[in-house]
Chains A and B, each alone.
Chain A
Amino acid sequence: MVDLSVDLGFLKLRNPVLAASGTFGYGLEFEPFMDLNSIGGFVVKGLYFGPREGNPPPRLVETAGGLINAIGLQGVGVEQFAEEILPRLRKYQTAVFVNVCGASDEEYIRVIEHLNRHQGIAAYELNISCPNVEKNGVCPALNSDHTFSLVKMAKQASRLPIIAKLSPNVTDIVAIAKAAEEGGADGLSLINTILAMAVDIETRRPKLSNTFGGLSGPAIKPIALRMVYQVASAVKIPVIGIGGIMTGADALEFMMAGAKAVEVGTANFVDPAATLRIVREIEDFCRRNNIKKIAGLVGTLKA
């Protein structure tokens, strides 16, 4: 029997596999394919205060080993989420994280204050890094000072732990990670998507209506892994690794590089039970290698 549980300090997870925001809907979409209790948890689609219309199509383009999306965070607002969706998630024993968005610092705080009044959320993942909101991809996570001040404000407003989700679209990810840690973040998740584009040579137009979008999928895994390793080596708070994880082996790479848990994203589109399969693949690896506790594997990279 392998002990797959991991302790983030502020929260114990049944196993280290979470589903990433924006790839798992509100969780309910995956009920036909898997038991949501079988994974460590999931992060629901990013929430602004009000409902969001999102970008016009085309919103997705497939590229080598991945896809670029510019959905524009279409979805319900906090009220509808809290009234209609959250009650349906409470029956699960799994950890539900809410990805918190804002067009301004004040909006992030309003979302947190509203959700504070409701039960059934394990932690907030502060989405300071979504590249689609502004056309040029500007977000708080591109700047250390903004990251510090926003995380600090969020932490003061929140009754729940705060995980800051970092952007890879920076020169020095460690500086941003440290700013979030100093701001009081309880954990970090990285990476969000990489700002990218694709061109239709017949029409000479961008393939996305928004021109730019966020690249995800296996194509970004080596970059994500490098950043997770750098950050996990530099901060004391737990790091959740994200970026192109398709298999248990991918997840284990992130964990050895220092991630206490992982989020699986794009793989959910291809295989709706990917998270569950990855849990089993991690368990198989542990059994084959006589590893009793997965937590003991974190940060064991020999470098």
Chain B
Amino acid sequence: MTKDPAARIVHKQEWGDYFLFGVESPALAGEAKPGQFLMVRVSDHIDPLLRRPLSIHARERNTLEIFFKIAGQGTSLLARKKEEDRLDILGPLGAGFRLDAGLKGKAVFLVGGGRGIAPLYFLARELRTAGARVKVLYGGKSLPDLPLRHKFEQAGLDVACSTDDGSSGFHGLVTGLLQSEANKQNPAALFVCGPDPMMKKTAEFAAREKIPAQFSLESMMGCGFGACWGCVKRIRKGDDGAWRKICEDGPVFSGDEIVWEEEG
């Protein structure tokens, strides 16, 4: 965990509200693991004050990539940054995904919803290197919400898509696509990131089918490194569940640890 006050943006791509930055920082890139995140300052001034938590999307030698969607004032400011601009970044933070050695030769599904696809590219490549047979299930509202589809394909990854409106791939939620793909081949593990209702549904599916599943949770964060206690979720660790910090104890948790909130 370190702070790079001047990580250089080396490339930038955009698709509507979605953005991908390559950020050069040997200090941050050297330690990065899939599922970890960065805290990025979006302004040099006091408004907005807080850093924004963003998943590490990819790592290439000295460069990390972040992928995000404009969701408010902070990400909107971040989206305006240009190549050669510098970013003040804290990271890598959190524990990340657990890559079980027993997954070698096994089929694993990576399920991403919307901007939740962000950490799964890094993970997919690491899992493939570790010998797992990786299938990526990528869901969005509509075709423009799947901007990374080609990136996964170009990396030689097996990717299937779903859209809520049927404009591309499976017509329906990514959880429907998951059900349909699982009928063809049973995965040995699931790795999931997306909106809470989608993750909750996936957790129910995983519990029913007895498939080990890991979920990367998202939260607004005050600090990202355990000092503010602002980003808690009810998590069981051999107990009935306590408010545990997403930033420090997570952001990745097993499905059976997470106490999902009731909808409504």
Query: Which A positions have Cβ atoms within 8 angstroms of B?
Result: 22-25, 29-30, 32-33, 53-54, 56-62, 64-67, 69, 71, 74-75, 217-218, 246, 266, 268-273
Question: B51 near A: Cβ within 8 Å?
Answer: yes
Check if B46 sits within 8 Å of A217, measured CB to CB: yes
Does B233 have its Cβ within 8 Å of any Cβ on chain A?
yes
Q: Are B230 and A71 in contact (CB-based, < 8 A)?
A: yes
Measured CB to CB, the nearest residue on chain B to A31 is B1
B58 interfacial by beta-carbon distance below 8 Å: no
Listed residue (B41, B49, B230, B232) with the most chain A CB atoms within 10 angstroms of its CB = B49
Asked if residues B222 and A67 are in contact (CB atoms below 8 Å), the reply is: yes
16 A-B pairs whose Cβ atoms sit less than 8 Å apart in the complex:
A25-B226, A29-B226, A32-B1, A54-B232, A57-B232, A62-B220, A64-B47, A66-B49, A71-B229, A75-B229, A246-B46, A269-B222, A269-B223, A270-B223, A272-B3, A273-B3
Across the interface, name the chain B residue whose C-beta is closest to A66: B49
Query: Is B49's CB under 8 angstroms from A218's CB?
Result: yes
Q: How far is the CA of A64 from the CA of B50 in the complex (A)?
A: 11
Known A268-B227, A269-B222, A273-B3: A67·B243 in contact at CB below 8 Å: no
5 more contacts with CB within 8 A, not counting A32-B2, A270-B49, are A65-B49, A71-B229, A270-B51, A272-B225, A272-B227
Residue of A nearest to B1 (CB): A32
Size class of the contact patch on chain B: 20 to 34
Q: Is the CB of A60 within 8 A of B220?
A: yes
Least CB distance from A11 to B in Å reads: 24
Residue of B nearest to A207 (CB): B220
Complex interface: chain A residues within 8 A of B230 (CB) = 57, 59-60, 69, 71
CB of B232 to closest CB in A, whole Å: 5
Instruction: Tell me which residues across on chain B come within 8 A of A23, comparing CB atoms.
Output: 227-228
Chain A residue nearest in CB terms to B242: A53
Which positions 218-244 of chain B face chain A at CB distance < 8 Å?
219-223, 225-233, 242-243
- The count of A-to-B residue pairs whose CB atoms sit within 8 angstroms is 87
Q: Which residues of A contact B229 (CB under 8 A)?
A: 54, 59, 71, 74-75
The reply to whether the CB of B48 lies closer than 8 angstroms to some CB of chain A is yes
User: Interface of chain A, helix or strand or loop or mixed?
Assistant: loop
- Report the minimal beta-carbon distance from A148 to chain B, rounded to whole angstroms: 32
B90 within 8 A of A: yes
Q: Which residues of B lie under 8 Å from residue A22 when comparing CB positions?
A: 228
Are B41 and A59 touching (Cβ within 8 A)? Answer: no
Which of B3, B49, B226 contacts A62, CB < 8 Å? B49
Is B232 a contact partner of A74 (Cβ separation < 8 A)?
Answer: yes
Q: Hey, which chain A residues are within 8 Å of B49, CB to CB?
A: 62, 65-67, 217-218, 266, 270
* Chain B residue contacts of A32, Cβ below 8 A: 1-2, 225
What's the least CB distance linking A277 to chain B, in Å?
11
In the complex, what residues of A have CB within 8 A of residue B223's CB? 268-270, 272
The residues of A that contact B41 with a CB separation of less than 8 Å are 270
Contact status of A57 and B225, CB under 8 A, knowing A65-B49, A69-B230, A217-B49: no
- Neighbouring A residues of B90 by C-beta, 8 Å: 272
How far, in angstroms, from A217 to B49 measured CA to CA in the complex? 8
Give A273 to B226 CA distance when docked, in angstroms. Answer: 14
Most interface-central of B2, B50, B242 (chain A CB within 10 A): B50
Query: Smallest distance from the beta carbon of B133 to chain A beta carbons, Å?
Result: 37
Per the bound structure, the CA–CA distance linking A30 and B1 in Å amounts to 11
- Taken together as a complex, chains A and B put the C-alpha atoms of A252 and B29 apart, in Å, by 38
